[in-house]
Amino acid sequence: LMPDLNVYDNVDVPLRYRRMKSAERHQRITNALEIVGLASRMKHIPAQLSGGQQQRVAIARAIAGDPKLVLADEPTGNLDSLMARQVMELLEKINEMGTTIIMVTHDPELARRAHRNVQVVDGQISDFRPYEPHAEAARSGGHAAGMTAGA
């Protein structure tokens, strides 16, 4: 985010480059900010927002252009667990609206929530299944980490 621009103007920047008319830009900006729950913060600058709110502004900026694909590099990396969960729920909501999300994460909890996981090892891409203790327990018929495994 550009630190000297308010939330509204930060979301507007990529739309201006697309030479959209002002009325269409305004509609897209307000819609994107409503989706991420920050419509009431339009006039705030990034320094007046929490880390999670700043991340949500960045997501609004990305989705205002109605992309088919969003690339998210560690979108929850600097957030506490509550904010990380909220950002992940937001990305899931955007995905349900028809946008493909490609996310890089080292957080196994977030990886488990993805529809598909891939890993890159020595330059090779392969499918990957994050470790799930309860799934292992279900396969062995027991319990793991104090959780009852369900089918």
Cα 96 to the center of its chain, rounded Å: 12
pLDDT digits over 64-113, tens only? 999 999 999 998 888 888 888 888 898 998 899 899 999 998 888 888 88
Give the contacts of 58 (CB within 8 A, at least 6 positions apart): 1
More confident residue, 127 or 148: 127
Tell me the C-alpha distance between 78 and 148, whole Å: 31
pLDDT digits over 128-140, tens only? 876 665 554 444 4
pLDDT digits over 24-44, tens only? 999 999 999 999 999 999 999
Helical axes 22-35 vs 7-17, angle rounded to 10°: 130
Q: How many CB atoms are located within 10 Å of the residue 111 CB?
A: 17
- pTM higher than the cut 0.75: no
Give the contacts of 47 (CB within 8 A, at least 6 positions apart): 3
Q: Looking at domain 7-115, what is its CATH homologous superfamily?
A: P-loop containing nucleotide triphosphate hydrolases (3.40.50.300)
